[in-house]
Structure 1
Amino acid sequence: MSEPVRLIKKYPNRRLYDTKTSAYITLGDVKELVLKFEPFKVLDAKSGEDLTRSILLQIILEEETGGVPLFSCELLSGFIRFYGSTSQSMLGKFLENNMKTFVDFQQKVQEQSRSLYGGSDTASVQADFWNQFLTFQQPAMQNMMTAYMDQSKKMFQSMQDQLQSQTRTMFGGLGTPDVPEKK
């Protein structure tokens, strides 16, 4: 049986209250829940509104400003440009799926390095492996995205051609009005 989702209430004074432990907690404590893969939900104590995403974004913001950032300015600018575009939901799913694949792959590498090296100095072995993997992965991802974009362009062009053909067929019997030629 799965563990119930841990409920955390956020009060107007910006304090977080963990209903499981009956104690106030910090964003650092919430980060620990994330790291331990413990399911939780943060709700506004007054309105009941789900604030989980905003709390997770606060944690990311603290991490980004407090040390070595994960996201470059160029990447963040790219994210901002996707908001409101037709590709917004596609990007979200793409990132979510790739993050899951990345985490699954990382876990397998950790398991294999533990079995090969018996737990000694696996961090440097993993770092070397990830550098090699990402060096290979970036061009592969670019090629995949280029192929996807080319395919999307062809599909869009095909849809436009088909729509024009159907329009001509539908309105072809009406004839065209005499339009004077330009001199």
Structure 2
Amino acid sequence: MATKPKTEQSGAHGVRVIKKYPNRRLYDTDTSSYITLAEVKALVMDNEPFVVRDAKSNEDLTRSILLQIILEEESAGAPIFTEQVLANIIRFYGHSMQGFMGSYLEKNIQIFMDLQQKMTEKAGGPISPEAWQQFMNLQSPMMQGMIGTYLEQSRSAFAQMQEQMQKNSEQMLAALGLKR
């Protein structure tokens, strides 16, 4: 999708504004037209910055729209998350580890995205899902090195999370007058 010049309707810093109306329709202020959830997904896939706002209250609805896209994708027959993973994610809501888990997942997904980008660059362009599968099954030294790097970065992210939790615990104990 080509980047278009931003209109006066666009938000700060060229972020595309999509308004959600009570009838559940999405209105793209850049194109002055209604768009579908599939078109919002295309914006995500194209790394197009956007925000979805309630047309009346101006409340930010971006997260709920992204979750709706994930739900549709998960229901389409090739889910990423198993029931066990979803149950475990739910268990973290309201748990003292909730904030850390979100950060940990975000870092790991970014590490994985960086790995995927490096693999795409080494391949010289986009790779089909079938080629990815073959590539992943090869167990080549390059693949083993990249996976090793990914695992090390994941371990490092987890270690950073543990360190932050320890610092927070020590600060909390110190604030209560208790020392470790």
TM-score scaled by structure 1?
0.69
Matches of residues 1-183 of structure 1 in structure 2 within 5 Å?
4-114=14-124, 123-131=129-137, 132=139, 140=151, 144=155, 148=159
Deviation at 1:114, TM superposition (A): 2.0
Structure number with bigger Rg: 1
Structure 1 residue 125: Cα displacement: 4.3
Against the structure 1 CA distance between its residues 63 and 124, is the aligned structure 2 distance closer, same or farther, given a 3 Å change threshold? Answer: closer
- The number of aligned residues is 153
| Structure with greater helix share of residues | 1
Runs of 4+ aligned residues of structure 1 deviating over 6 Å after TM superposition are: none
1 or 2 for the larger relative contact order (CA 8 Å, sep ≥6)?
Answer: 2
Is there any run of 5+ residues in structure 2 with no aligned partner, and where?
1-5, 7-12
CA 124–61 in structure 1, closer or farther in 2 if over 3 Å, else same: closer
Alignment deviations for residues 104-141 of structure 1 (CA, whole Å, 9 cap, x no partner) = 110110110127xxx7x76544323435569x66xx57
RMSD: 3.5
| Distance in 2 of aligned mates of 1:48 and 1:167 | 46
**What amino acid is the match of 1:111?**
E
Answer yes or no: is the 8 Å Cα contact 1:113–1:126 preserved in 2: no
- Per the alignment, in what secondary structure is the counterpart of residue 42 of structure 1? strand
CA–CA distance in 1 between the matches of 2:81 and 2:120? 24
